[in-house]
Amino acid sequence: MYRVASIGGDGIGPEIIAEGKKVVDAAGERYRFDIEWHDFGIGADRYLKTGELVTEEELRELGRFRAIYFGAIGDERVAPGILEKGILLRIRFHFDQFINLRPIRMLEGTATPLAKKGPKDIDFVVVRENTEDFYVGIGSRFRGSQKASLSIERELYHAEFNLDIESDADELAYQIGVISREGASRVIEYAFELARARRKKLTSVDKANVLSDIYGLWRDVFSEQAKRYPDITTEFAFVDAITMWFVKNPEWFDVVVTPNMFGDIITDLGAMIQGGLGLAPGGNINPKGTSMFEPIHGSAPKYRGLGIANPMATIWAGSLLLDHLGEHEAAAGVLHALETAISDGIVTRDMGGSASTSDVGDYVSQAIRGS
């Protein structure tokens, strides 16, 4: 028996989470385990009624679970950033989910925009640092001559600036990226261990040639960690270059480890080369705490309730969740069933089919039970 928290969220989120739960339950039947779901009504609807994003009580309750299954966040009735930072990022930071895991794998039956590339060429994993870099929240906008003292809750970082602007008509904005040795070390170590379990190759992404202070530290930590893993082939890639190589030679990569900001960018590129956002899952992982699994696409509120949303990324995120719980055979079975549905043409219209959201969930569930 596994206890798992569920947050449907906004837009198409509740619909796709319902199909993901259906598939995970089918995997439980097939592979002999049970999931006890605990649903949380966190999202835009409640925020608009009560002004609550995530309460302290909910965070304490969520902390009792090893895994959270998350749908999508974002609503056109709420200003951008309020829900995303107040719910999604708050959960990530509160539970120190310092690893963002993004499998970039082309499933059989899908299409890629890359000419002459197929499933044998596109099969790698991006390990993105998830709690530092430009996401620590140090920044502001202001006018006039002011002194800004900057800090964040954990009091790990502090900076002071005297900023003189010529007139009140001028305005200045700043955002500061932060990387700590501890933060870089733990995610890079995770990436090395993952590479050791795969094809023993690890690529580190940075921009140390220009942003030499912040990403110079990242590169130093990577080089130090590499000495502990002589069996792993390592290399460095600047972030602008790796976008080119993802397109030209995706087969070159096995595991890629990257700071937060660059990871945010290159994983969307990875999603497109693997077949589109409708197929791209993500895991926000704390190996010793509460982790969260979600599709990487948005809430698509204009498609809410129409039954046409693609649930495959959410189902794949369910596979990551099962793998995290230790149900590795079941996780692989979910992916195989996804490939069966794709090969049989049971896909939503964004993938060229006519199946509804629930049709896909039903078909994948049946493929698991019948396998």
In a 10 Å sphere around its CB, with 0-12 CB exposed, 13-18 middle and 19+ buried, how is residue 263 labelled?
A: buried
* pLDDT number for residue 169: 57
Q: What is the DSSP letter of 63?
A: T
Asked if the model's pLDDT at residue 166 lies above 60, the reply is no
CATH of 1-107+276-371, one of 2.30.30.90, 3.40.718.10, 2.20.25.10, 3.90.280.10: 3.40.718.10
Contact 20, 318 (CB under 8 A): yes
* pLDDT number for residue 360: 98
Percentage of the residues of the chain whose pLDDT score is greater than 70? 92
Least confident piece of the model among 33-37, 140-144, 232-236, 357-361:
140-144
Instruction: Please state the domain extents for the chain.
Output: 1-107+276-371, 112-125+179-258+265-274, 136-176
* pLDDT number for residue 170: 67
Please write the tens of the pLDDT for every residue from 96-145: 999 999 999 999 999 999 999 999 999 999 999 999 998 887 777 776 55
* pLDDT number for residue 225: 97
* pLDDT number for residue 148: 47
CA distance 225 to 228: 6
Average pLDDT across the chain, whole number: 92
Asked if the model's pLDDT at residue 157 lies above 60, the reply is no
DSSP string, 217-275: HHHHHHHHHHTT-TTSEEEEEEHHHHHHHHHH-GGG-SEEEE-HHHHHHHHHHHHHHHT
